[in-house]
């Protein structure tokens, strides 16, 4: 499973919930040692998740990650200013980031949700839930719940009657939008997905490292909404998660033996740190 790192530059794209962090307690302790090893060899770790900017920044600060990240299921890319030494297109600058907007604004998405409710579908969005209610349901702290509710390009929602999923998906696609299932919730979004965002950043990294190094990308995720990301990396890894149905995948992936950060760490170690023994 290992591969040579000679003349290669590795970039890792990873989901958070159920992948790098535990599905239930949001801990990444089982991946801590591997994260430190990756930092020593200067491997960029690009968080690519359905979480909002505020939620992701909590982890980039904790893990001291100063790299671009992808928020709200590929709705937006945040790139630290001066990260790339060359010019590239972006939509706006804010705080310390250059921002590439790929998603549909939340106001427009909320109109779709409103119509679905009007049509009689029982759905409940983060906006419909109080901070206390969402905190209790997710296990997030109240501060993290407030961060989770500040969505700009993606509506997270529950389908109260699972039998409605197929019909809702059909209606949404007919209207020109997309739905996807994460670890806990469904997501309504525009034409964006994690894969498109990964492709954009991969091209920027390829330009950054030039012709002297071959770029090798690894992607790790656990859910349906991670499939577009996994399709757009060199080495896709599906992390085991018994909390939800395993997504159907029609391409070659590595399946982890363990769940969450333990499975994440297991596979990264085999790919990058045990190649000498293969």
| Active-site residue list | 15
Beta-strand pair 235-240/254-259: parallel
Q: How far apart are CA 67 and CA 80, in angstroms?
A: 7
DSSP-derived letter for residue 81 is T
* CA angle, residues 205, 64, 184, in degrees to nearest 5: 85
For the chain, the distance separating the N- and C-terminal CA atoms, rounded to the nearest angstrom, is 8
CA-to-CA dists, residue 273 to 40, 180, 266, angstroms: 12, 34, 10
How far apart, in whole angstroms, are the C-alpha atoms of residue 103 and residue 106? 9
Are residues 208 and 84 in contact, defined by beta-carbon separation less than 8 angstroms? yes
If you search the block for the tokens 């983060």, which residue do you land on?
126
3-state helix, strand, coil in the chain (%, to 5): 40, 25, 35
């Amino acid at each position: 499973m290992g591969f040579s790192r000679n003349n290669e530059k590795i970039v890792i794209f990873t989901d958070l919930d159920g992948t790098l962090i535990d599905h239930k307690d949001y801990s990444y302790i089982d991946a801590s040692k591997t994260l430190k090893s990756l930092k020593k060899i200067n491997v960029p770790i690009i968080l690519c998740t359905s979480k909002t900017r505020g939620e992701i920044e909590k982890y980039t600060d904790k893990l001291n990650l100063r790299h671009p990240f992808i928020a709200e299921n590929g709705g937006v890319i945040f790139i630290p200013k001066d990260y790339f030494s060359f010019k590239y297109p972006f939509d706006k600058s804010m705080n310390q980031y250059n921002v590439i907007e790929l998603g549909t604004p939340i106001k427009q998405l909320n109109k779709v949700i409103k119509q679905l409710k009007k049509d009689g579908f029982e759905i409940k969005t983060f906006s419909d839930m109080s901070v206390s209610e969402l905190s209790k349901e997710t296990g997030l702290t109240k501060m993290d719940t407030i961060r989770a509710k500040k969505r700009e390009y993606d509506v997270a929602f529950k389908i109260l009657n699972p039998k409605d999923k197929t019909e809702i998906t059909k209606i949404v696609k007919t209207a020109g939008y997309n739905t996807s299932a994460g670890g806990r919730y469904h997501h309504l979004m525009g034409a964006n997905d994690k894969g498109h965002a990964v492709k954009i950043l991969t091209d920027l990294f390829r330009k950054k490292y030039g012709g002297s190094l071959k770029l090798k990308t690894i992607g790790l995720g656990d859910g349906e909404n991670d499939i577009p990301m996994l399709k757009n990396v060199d080495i896709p890894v599906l992390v085991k998660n018994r909390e939800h149905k395993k997504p159907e995948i029609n391409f070659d992936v590595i399946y982890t033996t363990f769940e969450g950060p333990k499975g994440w760490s297991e596979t990264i170690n085999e790919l990058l740190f045990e190649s000498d023994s293969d």
